[in-house]
Structure 1
Amino acid sequence: MFFRHRRLALISALAATAVVLSACSGSAEPGPSTGTGEPDSNATLHVGLVLEPTNLDIRHTSGAALEQILIDNIYEGLVSRTQENEIEGRLASDYEVSDDGLTYTFTLNDGVVFHDGTPLTSADVVSSYETVRTDATVQGNAEFASVASITAPDPTTVQIVLSAPNQNFLFALTGPAGLVFKTGDTTDLKTAENGTGPFTLSRWNKGSTITFARNDEYWGDPVSVAEVEFQYIPDFTAGVNAALAGDVDVLTAVDPNLASQLEDSGDFTLTKGRTTDKATLAFNNKKAPLDDVRVREALRLAIDHDALIEAVGAGTPLYGPIPELDPGYEDLSDVISYDPERAKELLAEAGQEDLDLTLTIPSFYGTTVPKVLISDFDKVGVNLEVDSVEFPTWLEDVYTNKDYDLSFVLHVEPRDFGNFANPDYYFGYDNAEVQDLYAQALAEVDPDASAKLLAQAARIVSEDHAADWLYNGETITAVSPIVSGFPEDSINSRINLADVTVSSAD
């Protein structure tokens, strides 16, 4: 089950975020998403996105393209998460976790109704979560592996009991696994919906737009726009042209190479948003000569990370496997630096002065990162060949068969440190101390204590040079001055539109 879940998650995550790495250069200055004038409650917000969902069935279809627009807007769970990845109540007005970390008790908000007018009760939560727990085809099934029971003591209370503590369980409920659906609903979720969120699905013009309408019967605070139209524009240049023509009020996933066009127009504010995207240069830890820590360290020392980030056009330095938005983050810049001379010394010590390596990379990532790595490695006597392959080939050769030297992908999932605690993962990294610390972190009921254990494990992983993290990805968003409250962080996985307003243009 682990491998099936991981494979689906990786496929969807890579497909959803490959777009941000195609650029070569560019810049954007952070700025507030602040509108001018009075909010227009009858306004339509036009948002440009890149990746369109293949269908709308978030229960059975993996993909950030679905989560990005459906969670919190159409569907809701007991809990959700902020842009900073902090957990907060949603359908649950309150929740408690027992001292032993095994029992989760949720109290539902009053007056919650599905879009078809049916009141939500705890029975709907139980049936939704039982389906996740028992049906391997449902998204989140793996996250419910430790769930022992799900019960409804009364119409407004839900109790979930785990067989073992799991620090990540509550966070899992902020994703597809935690969404609540009407018991026995016959809605065709591929093309329609029946959620509880502040928007309803108005129409879907496949290949073009998806439109949401304000849910005037929403149980919580009503949203401030009448409609949201998501325009799917997979071509970056076309997206910029649409923005400059006034066809969209917000353009997400702006190509850094094209950002200056929007900035220079004076019609948009550009924001840089934090993500959990880890631009990972994977080392095959089980394959010579990369099974030698000296070789792995030398490769990291050879990379001018600042220059690489400048070439990519967006990103911040990352020296370990946990990004800033995840528990356990620590600045690990003391572990590694740019030192090509020391890299040469280590390669000599390892008897690898004239080293030939191959970088296997999915072709949709472009050539910017490979070109920088070729140049940097050449300076320390490493000849890097690049094998640019179609994604299915990468999945087969690298991810499944582990037949590679180096690889590059953007690992976007939050809280995925467990990859380094799994010796069967394609990294091939096997460290018993890291595995033990990760197990302790999951079993630890105190979040702060758990984060400290994760930080310890992450430092070991970085000191072992199990991989290199070229940068922590950023997303560039262009926002019109008439728009206020549009999210900046984590929008490649979640766009909560609850606080967005659109003002009348002057």
Structure 2
Amino acid sequence: MTRRSASLALITGLAAALALSGCAGSASPEPTGTVDPDATLTVGLVLEPTNLDIRHTSGAALEQLLIDNVYEGLVTRTQGNEITERLASSYTVSDDGLTYTFTLNDGIVFHSGTPLTSADVVASLQAVRDDESMQGHSELAGVASIAAPDASTVVITLTAPDQNFLFSLTGPAGLVFQNGDTTDLKAAANGTGPFTLGTWRKGSSISLNRNDAYWGEKAGVGEVVLDYIPDFTAGVNAALDGSLDVLTAVDPNLAPQLEKSGDFVLTEGRTTDKGTLAFNNAKAPLDDVRVREALRRAIDHDALVAAVGAGQTMYGPIPELDPGYEDLSDIAPYDPERAKELLKEAGHEDLTLTLTIPSFYGTTVPQVLVSDFSKVGVTLKVNSVEFATWLEDVYSNKDYDLSFVLHVEPRDFVNFANPDYYFGYDNPEVQSLYAQAKAETDEKKSAELLAQAARLVSEDHAADWLYNGATITALVPGVQGFPEDSINSRIDLRGVTLSK
């Protein structure tokens, strides 16, 4: 898959769950009772995977379930998107940024009982690099060779420096599987992680059991049951009736019910979710930068965030958790009078546009936009469509004026450096800066280049970023160590404990 299709896959996987991901007072549960090492932790999630083959199937539902819990890579990432070792005890990068040398931890064993060696790593990564059908294939396209000089060492050589390479290894592209294994990955699993796959009751739940043979620190609970509850109200009701210890993706409109019960602590987590108002840069009148700037200045972002009940304002393409973030609120502040002036200069004082939006996002965002745009003389028609229609009309055929989706993938600035992406944005200087940032071996310098490119994108008003989403999680007070940030795409359950 291309990186843009991988990004879209995450949109597909999380769209319904994140339509109203919201905001709550952040707090940490106070410990109660004695930690029960054999406890069963029950977690409410929204989207269930369609199958378990994370090598060939995209979607955040699979990553939430499997990465770091059942399968592991050489490296992983923290809640703050920092890269850290996992199967590798250490790694080094050559000065020219081309050679990565990983040393494996001792005693790693697959769930099948077979010890892991560097040969398993080599086979796993080579399969992704060579097979276009595998998730992360495009991310390893720049790998020249993968070698195992001994049983505990892996050496990866790139054809050119790639600042994103290590981060790519934290996702599906970098997961390690047993070489020659015949496990049916659609229905079963054989990883190295702190949990083994338990029972999958399709349409209901999936359980994970602690792996007592795990090579690292053992999981803090004996079992985790992931209950899939696609309806937000039903999820809250399940929490209130005592069926859940944790409820993720709490609808902000329903959060007060959990708070008032006194039985839950609500935490607010940061994400890389970008509520993106896409402009069709290649189509009149959106090909006029004055029109795009006018639309941005017409939107009261603070009021919109309050209406959605989620996260924080965002004025550029890079969220706070990603390299290259900069506060760009100075570029297009709320100024409806200036918006009117710009529309007049562009000859569009009486403008009608259509917003194409997947129906599962609800009406909150469209209502705010319709109201704000009307104040500057722009009539906004809302075309609410099924997601399959959005994929065909907007994403594939680029037949739209404005659109809204939640882009959730981290480090996806490449979308604005790709003139073929559905935004229709083509700026050679941005493309050059992104290429330089990717090839830059110094992490700080790479981030500075990304920041320069992001400012140009915002100054071009290539899109509007309505908000940087947040997610609410409700926990019973006995739960400790449950991740707060970035859980829309990753939930490392190893460190979670539950008190009696």
Shorter-normalised TM range:
over 0.9
How far did residue 334 of structure 1 move? 1.2
Contact 1:293 1:464 in 2 (8 A): yes
For residues 22-69 of structure 1, the C-alpha deviation after alignment (integer angstroms, 9 at most, x for no partner) is 47xx75211114432221011100000000001111111111000011
Code of the residue aligned with 2:326 in structure 1: it is E
Q: Which residue matches 1:360?
A: 356
* Partner SS state of residue 347, structure 2: coil
1:231 aligns with one of 213, 227, 231: 227
**In 2, Cα distance between equivalents of 1:374 and 1:158:** 55
Of residues 310, 315, 319 in structure 2, which corresponds to 1:314?
310
Match of 1:286 in 2: 282
- Of the three residues 161, 168, 173, the one matched with 1:172 is 168
1:134 aligned residue (115, 130, 134):
130
2:65 paired with 1:69:
yes
The SS at the match of 1:361 is: strand
> Could you tell me which residue of structure 2 aligns to residue 474 of structure 1?
470
- The answer to whether residue 493 in structure 2 is matched with residue 462 in structure 1 is no
Matches for 1:421-460 after TM superposition, within 5 Å: 421-460=417-456
Q: Distance in 1 between matches of 2:23 and 2:495?
A: 27
For residue 356 of structure 2, give the secondary structure of its aligned residue in structure 1. Answer: strand
The separation in 1 between residues aligned to 2:19 and 2:385, in whole angstroms, is: 16
DSSP-derived class of the 1:394 partner: helix
Trace 1:245-256 onto structure 2 (pairs within 5 A): 245-256=241-252
The 2-side partners of 1:9 and 1:403 are apart by 20
Contact residue 133 and residue 147 of structure 1 kept, 8 A: yes
Q: CA deviation at 1:11?
A: 3.1
| Equivalent residue in structure 2 for 1:488, among 484, 491, 494 | 484
Q: Deviation per CA, 1:137-170: give whole Å up to 9, x if none.
A: 1111010110010000000000000001110010
* TM-score, with length taken from structure 1: 0.97
Q: Is the 8 A contact 1:33 1:486 kept in 2?
A: no
Letter in 1 for 2:308: V
Q: Secondary structure at the match of 2:53?
A: coil
Aligned 8 A contact 2:121 2:176 in 1? yes
Distance 1:22 1:472 in 2: 12
Deviations 1:364-399 (A, max 9, x none): 111110010000000000000011111111111111
Which AA in structure 1 matches 2:25? E
- 1:89-108 equivalence runs, <5 A: 89-108=85-104
Question: Residue 11 of structure 1 aligns with which residue?
Answer: 9
C-alpha deviations, 1:461-495, integer Å up to 9, x for none?
Answer: 00111000000010010011010010000001000
SS of structure 2 residue aligned to 1:242 = helix
Contact 1:242 1:248 in 2 (8 A): yes
The amino acid that maps onto 1:6 is R
Structure 1 position 120 matched with structure 2 position 120: no
| Residue 298 (structure 1) aligned to one of 258, 275, 294 | 294
Distance 1:282 1:14 in 2: 17
* Counterpart Cα distance in 1 of 2:31 and 2:130: 46
Alignment deviations for residues 189-228 of structure 1 (CA, whole Å, 9 cap, x no partner)? 1111110000001111111110011100000011110000
Unaligned runs of at least 5 residues, structure 2: none
C-alpha separation between the residues in 1 aligned to 2:232 and 2:351? 38
Q: What is the SS of the residue equivalent to 1:211?
A: strand
Displacement of 1:8 in angstroms is 4.6
Give the SS at the match of 1:489.
coil
Aligned to 1:48: 44
Match of 1:418 among 414, 418, 426: 414
Question: Which residue does 1:266 correspond to in 2?
Answer: 262
The number of aligned residues is 500
Q: Distance in 2 between matches of 1:489 and 1:252?
A: 11
Counterpart-to-counterpart distance in 2, 1:150 and 1:73: 25
- Which letter does structure 1 place at the counterpart of 2:4? R
Do structure 1's residue 378 and structure 2's residue 384 form an aligned pair?
no
Give the structure 2 partner of residue 151 of structure 1.
147
Q: Does 1:502 align with 2:482?
A: no
Query: AA paired with 2:400?
Result: Y
> Which residue identity does 1:340 align to in structure 2?
P
Measure the CA separation in 2 of the matches of 1:6 and 1:93. 32
The equivalent residue for 1:20 is 18
Write the letter of the residue equivalent to 2:14.
A
1:194 maps to 190
Measured in 1, the distance between the counterparts of 2:141 and 2:211 equals: 35
Verify the 8 A CA contact 2:4 2:421 in the aligned structure 1.
no
Whether the 8 Å contact between 1:143 and 1:177 is mirrored in structure 2 is: yes
Amino acid at match of 1:223: A
Aligned-residue identity in percent: 74
Partners of 1:209 and 1:230 within 8 A in 2: yes
Q: What secondary structure does 1:459 align onto?
A: helix
